[in-house]
Copies of this chain bind each other. A is one copy, B any other.
Amino acid sequence: MQDQGYRLQFTSSKIEDLMYRTTFDPKSGDGDLIVNLSLFREEDLEDVLNIFKTTISSGLAVSPYVKMLHCGDTIAGYRIEEGMAGIATVCSITIDGILLKSGVLVKPHFGGLVQIRDGMPVRFTDVLRYASTTIDPLEVLMSQEVTSVTRMLRTGSGKILANLRGAPMIAREKVESVLADMMDAGISGILEVGEPNTRILDVSVERDHFGIVVIGGTNPMAVVQESGIYIRTNAMSTLIGIDEMRPIGEII
């Protein structure tokens, strides 16, 4: 009666699959990145791109690289419908994929909301662990309408989407060097790198590990949604070669 094919897919297993498939090399600047796919009405294209540009240039995203999608384009087996447009943006789990491929046993723990006060991250206020949910935490938080990314952009205080991973303390220098290479290659979004055996944004880490908090790639989408424009996001959707993407500043 039981069908083996029916087992639940938790977000963590989807993440492990995408991390393994990440081939982006921060030294050469080539390879495939994990992307979030967002769909919106074509008539909102200019508004959406303007919001993305502002949010990304304020540092509330992982990378300026995006890929535009228009009616008829196909991505991850999905065809953009008539009257709609899409944008693929870099997902923060790309950073986990790059760290894994550099030999670091990095473990993505959860997605959540980080409270920012006067420009400083204070603490996680809500979290959902990847190993325990079949629905992507950042999609969950966006649909709960609990973000205040727009307010954060205007006043320096608000709640933004972010996520936490842990890495063994022995790999700390390697992690810092890879993160520096990533920055040079246009992949950033690091909110905080913790000290070993020390809480990070009020969350504990595994013994002899340290935490890394990365800004959610879905913050620009949260700003679009907060402004009342319809947008539907499929986080951790697929992988795209960076050669297919362009910095948003070159598009608008």
Residues of B within 8 A of A203 (CB): 8
Report whether A128 and B135 are in contact in the complex, using a CB–CB cutoff of 8 Å: yes
Please list 24 pairs of residues, one from A and one from B, whose beta carbons are closer than 8 Å in the complex, sorted by A's number.
A2-B202, A6-B123, A6-B202, A8-B127, A8-B202, A8-B203, A110-B132, A112-B134, A125-B134, A126-B135, A127-B133, A128-B128, A128-B134, A128-B140, A129-B129, A129-B132, A132-B133, A133-B133, A135-B141, A135-B144, A135-B146, A139-B144, A143-B143, A143-B144
Binding site secondary structure of chain A:
mixed
Contact count band on A: 20 to 34
Cβ-closest chain B residue relative to A123: B6
Shortest beta-carbon distance from A135 to chain B in Å:
6
Inside 8 A of A112's CB, which chain B residues have their CB? 134
The verdict on A246 contacting chain B, using a C-beta distance below 8 Å, is no
Say yes or no for A124: interface residue by CB 8 A criterion: yes
Q: Is the CB of A134 within 8 A of B143?
A: no
